Structure 1
Amino acid sequence: MMTDEVAAMNIAFWADMGSPMRLLPALREDDDKFVTVRTTWLNDASRLDAPLLRQLYDFWRGARNGAVMPPASAIDPFALRFALGNLVVMEPLDGGIDFKVRLFGSRIASRLGYDLTGRLLSSISDDTARHYTEQAVAKVLHGERPMLMQRHRRLEKGPVEYTCLLLPFGDGTPSRIVYGVHFDDEG
């Protein structure tokens, strides 16, 4: 459930960014689409328990070559084959008003029950999940640094908990956001 403190932080962040993104409504735990989200900026790999996310972060750090972020050309399917089923690659449109999903990993699609490959992020029918995702990728786009997001969602198949690592790629400004997903029940 979103606390007043988290709501105030969201308001301050989006006001500071001058973002047109809508703020999230408060959620009730008995809501059918209850989503819990915790986001934190990631400064080092010490907070990454999942080997897949740690390996993805190490790839991102190595591809930076001392820059703030690696270029989009560093997104290489062969080099990222260890994580392809657990990756989402998004391209910001109109400064982050929307995002085109270039890749939606098969393992993610299977677990969440939908595939967004080739679609816009705005096409997610679950308003709450869409808003949380929009805000997270927009924060990474404007903050130009990695973010760690922990989510708990109720889906038709039952509850699912997962951790996401969001990484910016681009030349000077992010032109891609790579989103690695680790499902907590997969060890």
Structure 2
Amino acid sequence: MSHSTAARYRTRSIMLHATLTGLGETQAANAPPASCHPKIRDVYAYWLKIHPPHGLPGRQHFEPTDVPGLLRHLRLLEVEGDPPRFKVRVIGTQYSERLGRDATGRYLDELFEGFSGSRFHRALMEIIEIKRPVWRRGPLQWFCREQFTHVERIHLPLARDGSTVDMVLTVCVFQN
């Protein structure tokens, strides 16, 4: 990806994860802000704890039972193929309740019409490219049963080989 394309993706971070109804706050950086939700802070601290000295942590480092208080807020997507497709490996009950179904084992492009051209898809592609956590807080309209909700979430890249992002770990806290 060229420098200008990468810069354009970074400036589009404000559109991450959803069709936004307001701008909210977005941060593509090495840490979420101090004002973030405690669950976001907890998963980020855990991600740092499992982070090897060189490269990204991988799925082999992540043990869901190490973060039991976060399980209902957690989603783990596997990145497959070229172009990438995103398969739901783990989905917390908070997500399932919002979606109105269990999406485990399904591809996002099969679950959601128009996913491949969506802002959510672009956000996941950005995570693959920048290989850094991306945090966001703000209102959104997403593939949820409730149309409008407030969300705070962090996407954390995972890479089995330490470099190529092959999973995206997300913790999301929905608030109405």
Cα deviation, 1:127-161, whole Å, max 9, x if unaligned, reads 36972221111111121111113351165434212
Tell me whether 1:83 sits opposite 2:83 in the alignment: no
Tell me whether 1:57 sits opposite 2:50 in the alignment: no
After TM superposition, list the pairs within 5 Å mapping 1:122-137 onto structure 2.
Answer: 122-127=109-114, 131-137=118-124
State the one-letter code of the partner of 2:20. V
- Aligned counterpart, 1:42: 29
Shift of residue 97, structure 1, vs aligned partner: 2.2
Higher relative contact order (CA closer than 8 Å, sequence separation 6+): 2
- Aligned counterpart, 1:20: none
Mapped to 1, the partners of 2:19 and 2:87 lie a distance apart of: 25
Judged with a 3 Å threshold, the aligned counterparts in structure 2 of structure 1 residues 126 and 148 are, in CA distance, closer, same or farther, namely: farther
Shift of residue 106, structure 1, vs aligned partner: 0.8
Mapped to 2, the partners of 1:123 and 1:164 lie a distance apart of: 23
Cα deviation, 1:101-128, whole Å, max 9, x if unaligned, reads 1011111111232332110011233536
Mapped to 2, the partners of 1:127 and 1:136 lie a distance apart of: 14
Out of 166, 175, 179, which is 2:170 matched to? 179
Judged with a 3 Å threshold, the aligned counterparts in structure 2 of structure 1 residues 39 and 169 are, in CA distance, closer, same or farther, namely: same
Mapped to 2, the partners of 1:160 and 1:125 lie a distance apart of: 18
State the one-letter code of the partner of 1:140. I
Judged with a 3 Å threshold, the aligned counterparts in structure 2 of structure 1 residues 157 and 144 are, in CA distance, closer, same or farther, namely: closer
5+ residue gaps, structure 1, are: 1-10, 17-22, 24-32
- Aligned counterpart, 2:99: 112
CA contact (8 A) 2:131 2:165 kept: yes
5+ residue gaps, structure 2, are: 13-17
State the one-letter code of the partner of 1:13. A
CA contact (8 A) 2:19 2:119 kept: no
Output the TM-score relative to the length of structure 2.
0.76
- Aligned counterpart, 2:140: 152
- Aligned counterpart, 1:121: 108
- Aligned counterpart, 2:153: 164
Judged with a 3 Å threshold, the aligned counterparts in structure 2 of structure 1 residues 47 and 152 are, in CA distance, closer, same or farther, namely: farther
**Bigger CA radius of gyration:** 1
Mapped to 2, the partners of 1:141 and 1:48 lie a distance apart of: 26
Percent identity of equivalent pairs: 21
